[in-house]
Amino acid sequence: MRRDLLTQLNDARRERRAAVLVTALEGGEQRFVTPELLASDPLGEELDAALRAGKSRLVEHDGKSYFLTVQVPPVRLVVIGAVHISQALAPMVKLAGFDMVIVDPRTAFATPERFPDVEVIADWPETVLPPMKIDRYTGICCFTHDPKIDDPALEEALRAQCFYIGALGSRKTHGKRVERLLAKGFSKSDIARISAPIGLDIGAVTPSEIAVSVLGEIILALRKKPLRTEVRP
């Protein structure tokens, strides 16, 4: 591999940016492709599919073979609210292979005893999230029903273009949430990225069922929807 390509891959990994190294099997020609270049690349569709899957693969195009070395950051899920749904969701997220962090300033709920295998931060989202540097490979779930806790997290998630943003609450509750976010300067198209009520519509009732619907929606957003490019259109 050329030194400049290795440097670009290492830089992308360090900065939590997605990238693909395309190698032509015939001749060994290589190029470095980032998400914002997909539209102009002859392998754009194949690269998009590989990035969404997060898997390296061999592809055929116009009678030629290419190996796509895919590099995507580890997916992170930040859950706002150390509640019963979060307890049910934690082992499911681990099985799915994602990292999870729970943030809740309410110290009575945010305890290691209630979440033995998950990082729990007993502090306010507006304090925790900026240094965490959430990004396009971060999902945010808000479960507290408390605007003082959920709203700052939603604002940070919208600014960071997180691939998934969900919030618990009825349509009426979300309507009031929309009004607050509009007053903060977010556009209707920004706010439309929030999944509310949170989760797939599978008729979930119990905390465990809601957790299943939420994780399903997160995977859907990550794997099936159009890739979130590095530059917003």
Kindly report which listed range (43-52, 121-130, 194-203) carries the lowest average pLDDT score.
Answer: 43-52
DSSP secondary-structure letter at 230? Answer: S
Dihedral sign for Cα atoms in the order 201, 167, 133, 123: negative
Question: What CATH number is given for 76-223 in this structure?
Answer: 3.40.50.720
What is the amino acid identity at position 158?
L
pLDDT, tens digit, for every residue of 34-72?
988 888 999 998 998 899 888 899 999 999 999 999 999
Instruction: Take residue 131 and report the two structure tokens written for it.
Output: 């240094």
Share of the chain above pLDDT 90, in %: 76
Give the pLDDT band (50/70/90) at residue 2.
Answer: confident
Q: Which pLDDT score, from 0 to 100, does residue 3 have?
A: 85
Of 190, 189, 187, the C-alpha closest to 160 is 190
Q: Which pLDDT score, from 0 to 100, does residue 77 have?
A: 97
- Residues for the chain: how many in total? 233
Tokens 């607050």 correspond to: 180
Domain ranges of the chain: 3-71, 76-223
Provide mean pLDDT across the span 162-180: 94
DSSP secondary-structure letter at 35? Answer: G
Check whether 74 has a pLDDT greater than 60.
yes
CB 217 within 8 A of CB 159: no
Check whether 233 has a pLDDT greater than 50.
no
Provide mean pLDDT across the span 4-33: 90
The pTM assigned to this predicted structure is 0.83
Check whether 226 has a pLDDT greater than 90.
no
Check whether 232 has a pLDDT greater than 60.
no
Provide mean pLDDT across the span 80-95: 96
